[in-house]
Structure formats: C-alpha cells, structure tokens
Amino acid sequence: MAHAPATPGLVDVHGRAIRYLRISVTDRCDLRCRYCMAEQMTFLPRSALLSLEEIAVIAERFVARGVDKIRLSGGEPLIRRDVSELIRRLGRLVGHGLQELTLTTNGTRLAQHAAALVDAGVRRVNVSLDSLDPDRFRHITRHGDVAQVIAGIRAARDAGLRVKLNTVALRGLNEDELPAILRWCVDEGLDLSLIETMPLGAIDEDRVDRFLPLTAAFDRLSADFPLVRDAHRSGGPARYWRVEGTDTRLGLISPLTANFCDGCNRVRLTTEGKLYLCLGHDDQVDLKAALRDGGLTALDSAIDHGLGRKPARHDFRIQAGAMPAVARHMSVTGG
C-alpha cells in the first residue's frame, strides 16, 4: 500500500508547508508528571490503538508527500512492546525522503535502547527532565528515580546520540534549579530546551500557580551564563542561544509569551490514529478509519481534509481557574 503514486505536497489552508510529523506510539507512561497528567489516568484500550504496521504505513505516506522529519513520542514511546521494530523500519527512510528520525523520551528505558536507536538511524533524542534533585524529581513525577534517567542520558550520549533535555519551567518548583540544570548540560555535553507549561488536560493543580514565563527564566540564566544568539534550527518551535565557549545550545519554547504559530510546520498523529492539526485545538481527522476502509487513496483524502481545517494559531491562556485549552492530555497527542 505504501507505494501508491505520490500526490501533491502538504500545504495547509494558511499556506504553511507541513514537513514535520510527530507520532504518539502510546498514551501510556511509566511516570505521572504533575503538570502533564492526573495521578489517576484512564488510558486507551489496546484494541483502540493503531498497529505498529499501520503507524509505519501512515508515516511512509507522509514522507512520500514531503514530510522530512518524524519524531516518535508518547506517553513514553519506549514502553510500547516491539517499538524497536517500528523505529528500524522508519529509520530506513532516512536519506530517502526523511532527513531526520528523532525520539522524545522520559529516559527511564533509554539505557537499554540507546545502541539500538543508533543502529536504526536515530541521531538525536530529547529527554524530558525537570529536576536533577532526587526528591524534587520524585515529587514532580510522583515516583520517578532521577538516577535511572541520568544513567539513560549518559548511555545515549556515549552511544553517539546527541541529547537535548526538555525542561518545563515551573514557578516555585524548579525555577531556582534552572541555572544548575544548564551548568550540568554544559559539563555533560548536552543541549537544553526550556518549555512554558501549557494548558492541556485536567490535572490536580492550577497551572497558573506554576506558570513561569521564559522571559523571566532567560533573564536569570543570562546573568549567570554568556549566552549568544544561535541561528540553529531543529525544525521545531525553539529559538536558540549558545553558551559561549561551549557546544551547549539553550532553546526556548514559548507558546504563551512568544507565539510561534505563523511558522507552524507540524501535525500530530495519536496512537489511536487521529491526526491533530494543532496541539491547542480539537480539530482532527481519523486516519485509522480512512486507512482501514479505503487504503492509501482514502488516507490521502483524509490528510488533505485535515490540512484544510488546520487553525491559524492556538488559543492557549493561563488564567486562574480557567479550563484547559483542550480536554486531552499531552500524552494523548504526543509531545
């Protein structure tokens, strides 16, 4: 099915070329980060999920139509059984339409998968890490072991992967630790991206209490580090600086204080086969149904229909007592 004749490239109704597909291979996670999930979560039944074969077919179709970057995410992608088979299959597309295959992980299983990721063609991974302090990390994740994650990060680096930490800046929780995290990245040869918390899904806290604008975080870091603007682009929304005299880049992802929607080049495929056109909207099309009912012809039509509905921008707001922008959690859509 994946070798049907190519159709025109992917351009949304606002004229933006779509070159980046993020795929959530599972909504499940072995951590319960407070800003991301409720402590008690209801996950999708396994019968509702795309098979790994279906994920591969859909991804191959996007590449045939012009997508040149794929990021696998979750939940935690490395907990899905046999996910390594999917990674190897997609890795064969690198250099054949696909420029980069990457992964976002919480790092808990990275040590055991690092070598296989490199062998499959992955060259760069993002690791979600919001604190280096064991007690604070356990509080944020509800039960995680930061030593396990650090071991995974070092195993990935030593295997030849470029590692970037993704750290959500949280007022009153980890804002005092951000300089130490950046210093650790410099010492370990890692990159760091700071992310503003986003109003996705109901959680057990009010996000306004934890929202830290990255303008404030950057001011603090600028006082401690010589930061120079870097022209590097990763294909995502981050704006980059470099710690002068080092190889460490600092990225800022600011969906609330510095909206980046004008240049959006992304769509997201969920583990149940829904294509979401924007992280902050509920507009979606069912690619699983299209593929199962009509093969690649129906899949192409569904993708085109979705791009015609992609909104111009998200409507994220952080206000006391405000409802989340969308009901689904980040783990459903994929990071």
Binding residues for [4Fe-4S] cluster: 29, 33, 36, 261, 264, 278
Handedness of CA 174, 172, 318, 284 (dihedral sign): positive
Q: Is the preceding peptide bond at 75 cis, omega within 30 degrees of 0?
A: yes
Distance set, CA 297 to CA 1, 52, 62, 223 (Å)? 9, 20, 13, 55
What are the start-end ranges of the E strands in the chain? 20-24, 69-73, 100-105, 124-128, 162-169, 191-196, 227-230, 239-243, 249-253, 266-269, 274-276, 284-286
In this structure, the chain runs to a length of 335
For tokens 């999708």, the residue is 44
Closest to 194 measured CA to CA, from 164, 172, 224: 164
Q: How far apart are the first and last CA of the chain?
A: 28
Closest CA to 193 of 207, 208, 178: 178
Known binding residues for GTP = 22, 71, 104, 164, 266-268
Per the annotation, binding residues for S-adenosyl-L-methionine are 35, 75, 128, 198
Contacts of 65 (CB under 8 A, 6+ apart): 6, 7, 8, 9, 10, 300, 303
Residue numbers in the known binding site are 22, 29, 33, 35-36, 71, 75, 104, 128, 164, 198, 261, 264, 266-268, 278
Q: Which of 157, 94, 103, 84 is nearest to 121 (CA)?
A: 94
